[in-house]
Structure 1
Amino acid sequence: MHAEDDWTTTPLTADLVRGALELERTERGLLPHWLPAAARAQCDDGQLRMAESQPSGVRLAFRTAATAVELDTLPTKRAYAGVPSRPDGVYDLVVDGSLADQGGVRGGNILTVDMTAGTAETASGHGGTLRFTGLPDRMKDVEIWLPHNETTELLALRTDAPVEPLPDRGRRVWLHHGSSISQGSDAASPTTTWPALAAASGGVELVNLGLGGGALLDPGTARAMRDTPADLISVKIGINVVNSDLMRLRAFTPAVHGFLDTLREGHPDTPLLVVSSLLCPIHEDTPGPSLPDLEALGEGRLRFLAMGDPAERAAGKLTLRSIREELSRVVRSRAADDPNLYYLDGLELYGEADAAELPLPDELHPDAATHRRIGARFAGLVFAEGGPFAAAGA
């Protein structure tokens, strides 16, 4: 380790951060957001506020000859009352495109969610330091991917050699929006969420608006995506609309059209892919809402149940099966006037055979192995030759 006097403290500025739509300057540092302040101000929902500040896909990116890096952060970790503590969030160190190390920051704030009472309380804590040593002693591209499942306030960056922003490599930018599965749910680390894996395979820069519980066709989200530069766009729609029991078919169809219309205001010709839900057996034919299984919570396990009445489907209550049918119809109806609009059935990413082999542990979210499968499937269907996001000449 170098002497303390040899270390360089680099101001945390926007040119060192990739994957965030907005950086909030706090009293101590920078807080990445997926939604701009105007969108956040229009929806004072605790779940959305939590999800949009959990920086899935957000990373520090710089070039340096440093062999040691320290990053001070203040994490806000999520806990569920009555359920065993979740592990600390994982930071992935990527050097010249390859995973080189992983680490974590202990302590921080704790957001405790009581799912039986429907409450959430935050206990304040102190920041900590992430340390990586033994990096190659040469100029290199370094990325530090922030945890996909805990809010992370960036406080200070120190290295034993100067850093400079990572230059633009001219890669296409993929802007994606989806639910907690897109955010990363139970993926092992931020570079192994299915969108991160697909982006690496496709050779693109990821901007991931995966909003756990928040993929609800909000106009503010659509406007944020409209105003974000992108070469490729995808929207994954379905599970949150069902498990929140947010709307019926009468409201759903024009909401989808409105969301797509808004995207097209800023990206009239960009390849735009609509993706329906993965298989989720509890909601295939049973409407929402999803609620925690109290018996399982009493045993210290997190598991969800579909609480809707299948008989209400006739009155327009939504299920995943009906949403897939409607999304396919909407895309077909628009395709004549929008040749760059595409549809992907989520069952091609995770279907019945996959569920038999790799069932959803809590009935809603895939595990780490399943994220890898979904990422590989998406890359093969979407980024490969003949896919809607295939590179020119592929």
Structure 2
Amino acid sequence: MATRTWDPWITTPVSADVLRGALDLEHTEHGVLPHRLPAWARAQAGEGQLAMAEAEPSGVRLVVRTAATAVELDTRRTKRVYLGAPARPDGRYDLLVDGRLAGTATVPGGNTLTIDPASGNAETQAGPAGTVAFAGLPGGMKDVEIWLPHNEMTELIALRGNAPFEPVPDRGRPVWLHHGSSISQGSNAEGPTATWPALAARSRGLELINLGFGGSALLDPFTARTLRDTPADLISLKIGINLVNADLMRLRAFTPAVHGFLDTIREGHPGTPLLVVSPLYCPIHEDTPGPGAFDTEALRAGRLSFRATGDPAERAGGKLTLNVVRDELARIVRQRATVDPNLHYLDGRELYGAADFAELPLPDQLHPDPATHRRIAERFAGAIPAVRSR
């Protein structure tokens, strides 16, 4: 861990009153592990991909008020490594002071989760905790936020500063509850405040709860119940890409599943503005069904890339493609909006379409690059319904 040179140091327990964006805290041997699904929902998941994704704290941040000029956070990360693919960048911690980015850092050590893309086998190797240190903060009382990595599981062990910390009172800002895929979680973003939901939330003055789960936006009933039970002033659902690349269901099952997902959310949020967002433009799946797969030729060349393996002719039998999903989501929202005026639809190609792909292609054929995250955020911020402050 880093050597401390400031004295005295004051340690503050990491608890729910200084943490935003997490729905549950799991107490571990050394600290706490933030989760973006409650324990009862995790118990129903039964699948490793979702377990990994929801424990990666996209949108989760420590928020305190303090006069400290130096802050440290002891953490133990779990970093993913894909055999045969280029090394993933270290997860980034972003420091905001009074809402402005004031520093970034990474943490050494930690656990390593090695995944074999060919077989799906995974193995975890334990490693030591590390320390994220920020110094040279301005004096005087200020709001300090540490945004946790959006792409690494992060066990929080100790939070220290050279002045006391106190929780930040509720600012009364509208709470935005978002659910989506790895693109919403932040794949390929530069850091946790640079994912498109984080950027859009800051642009519109919203308190973000990001339930973007890599590979796992699958209309799961436990996710719908989690959305139902989480207080929110705005809800958005980005539906489709994972259902296509997982080849999870046919159109006959998709339609009632979407209705059921929306019905469940409306049980807890009968009048909350609810925006259904269809998939962004993604050429490999526009008219070709899943399942999606790693591109083995790209892996042999040391690149991570994806391809669609389905047969376009199978659309006649009800297989889903992005265009099929968009058409059906638009129809479902039109039908329901006749009795639900707070339900809205946004075609994902308005956020990222064919012209955008020509200018800013998807590096791995599936996920946007940092510049595209910024473009999606700007367009989404301009498209969402107006929400009043609480």
TM-score under structure 2 length normalisation: 0.98
Q: Is the 8 A contact 1:54 1:150 kept in 2?
A: yes
Deviation readout 1:186-237 (Å, 9 max, x if unpaired):
0001001000010001111000000000000000001111110101000000
Q: Is the 8 A contact 1:178 1:211 kept in 2?
A: yes
Tell me, in whole angstroms, the C-alpha distance in 2 between the residues paired with 1:259 and 1:126.
41
Q: Is the 8 A contact 1:183 1:209 kept in 2?
A: yes
Deviation at 1:27, TM superposition (A): 1.4
Aligned to 1:222: 224
Deviation readout 1:139-190 (Å, 9 max, x if unpaired):
0000000000000010001100000001111000000000000000000010
Q: Is the 8 A contact 1:24 1:31 kept in 2?
A: yes
**The residue matched to 2:25 in structure 1 has which SS?**
strand
Deviation at 1:86, TM superposition (A): 1.1
Cα root mean square deviation, aligned: 1.1
Q: What is the 5 A alignment of 1:312-327?
A: 312-327=314-329
Deviation readout 1:98-130 (Å, 9 max, x if unpaired):
000000101111111111112111111111000
Deviation at 1:247, TM superposition (A): 0.3
Aligned to 1:389: 386
Aligned to 1:340: 342
AA matched with 1:352? A
Deviation readout 1:282-326 (Å, 9 max, x if unpaired):
000000011011111011100101000100000000000000000
AA matched with 1:334? R
- Which aligned runs of 4 or more in structure 1 are off by greater than 6 angstroms? none
Deviation at 1:12, TM superposition (A): 1.1
Q: What is the 5 A alignment of 1:166-177?
A: 166-177=168-179
Q: Is the 8 A contact 1:90 1:189 kept in 2?
A: yes
Aligned to 1:181: 183
AA matched with 1:333? Q
Aligned equivalent of 1:358, options 352, 357, 360: 360
Aligned to 1:374: 376
Q: Is the 8 A contact 1:173 1:207 kept in 2?
A: yes
Q: What is the 5 A alignment of 1:284-303?
A: 284-303=286-305
Deviation readout 1:248-305 (Å, 9 max, x if unpaired):
0010000000000000011111000000000000000000011011111011100101
Aligned to 2:195: 193
Deviation at 1:391, TM superposition (A): 4.2
AA matched with 1:153? E
Aligned equivalent of 1:305, options 304, 307, 316: 307
Deviation at 1:359, TM superposition (A): 0.3
Deviation at 1:16, TM superposition (A): 0.4
Aligned to 1:385: none
Tell me, in whole angstroms, the C-alpha distance in 2 between the residues paired with 1:189 and 1:35.
21
**The residue matched to 1:181 in structure 2 has which SS?**
helix
Deviation at 1:84, TM superposition (A): 2.0
Tell me, in whole angstroms, the C-alpha distance in 2 between the residues paired with 1:184 and 1:2.
32
Q: What is the 5 A alignment of 1:76-155?
A: 76-155=78-157
**The residue matched to 1:6 in structure 2 has which SS?**
coil
Q: Is the 8 A contact 2:86 2:304 kept in 1?
A: no
Tell me, in whole angstroms, the C-alpha distance in 1 between the residues paired with 2:63 and 2:301.
43
Deviation at 1:32, TM superposition (A): 0.6
Aligned to 1:205: 207
**The residue matched to 1:117 in structure 2 has which SS?**
coil
Structure 2 unaligned segments of length 5 or more: list them: none
Aligned to 2:237: 235
Q: Is the 8 A contact 1:2 1:160 kept in 2?
A: no
Aligned-pair identity (%): 71
Aligned to 2:158: 156
TM-score under structure 1 length normalisation: 0.97
The aligned length equals: 387
